[in-house]
Structure 1
């Protein structure tokens, strides 16, 4: 019943803007089926089973550490505390080896020069949505403790960049707040379409805000649907208005299927492409309609993605292509 209630909660918030049709795939109902699983096979809903996965140079051979024994990572011969570190956090009912996570990891491996850590919190992120949302406090606190151990062990704070998708953004915010309470301010926190239901307003947990890190940049791709409906960072980027349906996503979908998450998932696709070198250029503007009318063309071009200028403030708009490569360069900012 809890799982059903959780998805009824989701439907109440999101389905109003969704129209139903029949295009389906073999994976269409994967996310829905995962809500019926309290925890993934072989996992336990305990703080000690939260895991951090380290990728060296090969995506097929990662090393896994439980948060309580994270100091072992410092002894890994491939882990270089002097390198910049990206800490990626997946969303609700996702696994560390899902295509979404692997896409981001592969992008960083291709770029090179980074320690890549992935937070595997699926043991709390499965089951009903409300339960998962209420768990982000525990997950964030325990992960924050683990990261603090790495920082005390010599990991470069200056190079630390936390990137979260969907509900993972809310976990990221709590990690950053925990570290801040210990006198450690995360330099940069990036939110990829932060989860909307239950967080705006803050019913399940306080959502991400500019106070959480030195620089908070947010990418919106399904604002008001599965993603946050309003600005919530220092710099908020709104590709294609930041709402569904994103170009290339089916106009008619069955609610809560993989096809229906297309716009929400565009955020990690855009991010991965930017990491690989895609140029997503945008301009600051008051709103998307004003942007489309060309009234902000005198505003400077700025970059959305890993190379974003951390001094940016405000709302930025751009257009993308309907399929990969999504980045349009300067054309996307015209």
Structure 2
């Protein structure tokens, strides 16, 4: 399957007139897509979108698998997650308590549910009181091919929505105190979860929502301000791996939103300077609402 995807991609690329390097604008007419070795490769937007549409068709026909698992943490089991499924037997055997607010946490590319980010978020919530913290583990995020992980975002989000709907319909989960928190590609998974939930999720928080292969002009195919009652994005690597423009109702830009002091190397090398220039004036520390 992977060989077919690669051949299809290069066939499209060969038939298109490539954009000159001097005219490339990251996120506007193409993307610098992260690679396994930490570098990035430019892909013209037209080529990428044609390829993505063709592969989405394969995904919709069930020709690929999208394994998703859920691990519940509460004050009763704050460090060892209890694997749960959308079944009454599983939930009844867990410490899920509908009287407590629920938080879903979704990792990004190359990560798993044991990633340090998930541990930090889980610990932060449980230190504040009684919560149901459900960490999502989606295996396709660990594909070495970034585009393959992107293709699984929509289906993963629908599976998260299915779990939310089950808990709401059968175990009293209250959407009014539900937060869904996603990092990088996980932010867009959270968006698709919100799009497919029976009722409106209260809050979605996107931590550095991934930019490569996601278009600002196609909000229905990414996290957007309509996916929950309140959608907030926190841009920390804006213009490179993450969106720089606001894509929710609230947007925060720590230290300007592009780089953070003390952080190690990014997952990919920085794109050329010209590709990182925003097409709008530098945002204020907080900008509300996407156009």
Cα offset, 1:74, TM superposition: 3.0
Distance 1:115 1:135, change over 3 A: same
Cα offset, 1:227, TM superposition: 0.7
Is 1:50–1:120's contact at 8 Å kept on the other side of the alignment? yes
TM-score of the two chains, using structure 2 as the length reference: 0.69
Corresponding residue of 2:196? 178
Is 1:222–1:243's contact at 8 Å kept on the other side of the alignment? yes
2 CA distance for matches of 1:173 and 1:241? 24
Root-mean-square deviation (CA), in Å?
3.2
Corresponding residue of 2:138? 121
Cα offset, 1:103, TM superposition: 1.5
Is 1:198–1:204's contact at 8 Å kept on the other side of the alignment? no
Is 1:218–1:236's contact at 8 Å kept on the other side of the alignment? yes
Q: Please tell me whether residue 90 in structure 1 is matched to residue 107 in structure 2.
A: yes
2 CA distance for matches of 1:124 and 1:314? 28
Deviations 1:246-287 (A, max 9, x none): 12235xx58638xx8xxxxxxxxxxxxxxxxxxxxxxxxx84
Corresponding residue of 1:198? 213
Is 2:225–2:249's contact at 8 Å kept on the other side of the alignment? yes
1 CA distance for matches of 2:238 and 2:40? 15
Cα offset, 1:211, TM superposition: 1.0
Deviations 1:233-254 (A, max 9, x none): 001001111002x12235xx58
Aligned to 2:214, the other structure's residue is in SS state: coil
In the alignment, structure 2 segments of 5+ residues that lack a partner are: 10-32, 44-63, 271-280
Corresponding residue of 1:301? none
Corresponding residue of 1:63? 82
- Map 1:37-186; keep pairs closer than 5 Å: 46-47=65-66, 49-57=67-75, 58-66=77-85, 69-76=86-93, 78-153=95-170, 154-179=172-197, 182=198, 184-186=199-201
Return structure 1 stretches of 4+ with deviation > 6 angstroms.
Answer: 1-6, 202-205
Is 1:133–1:204's contact at 8 Å kept on the other side of the alignment? no
Corresponding residue of 1:211? 226
Is 1:192–1:220's contact at 8 Å kept on the other side of the alignment? yes
Deviations 1:210-232 (A, max 9, x none): 11110001100000111112110
Is 1:200–1:228's contact at 8 Å kept on the other side of the alignment? no
Is 2:140–2:148's contact at 8 Å kept on the other side of the alignment? no
Q: How many residues align?
A: 229
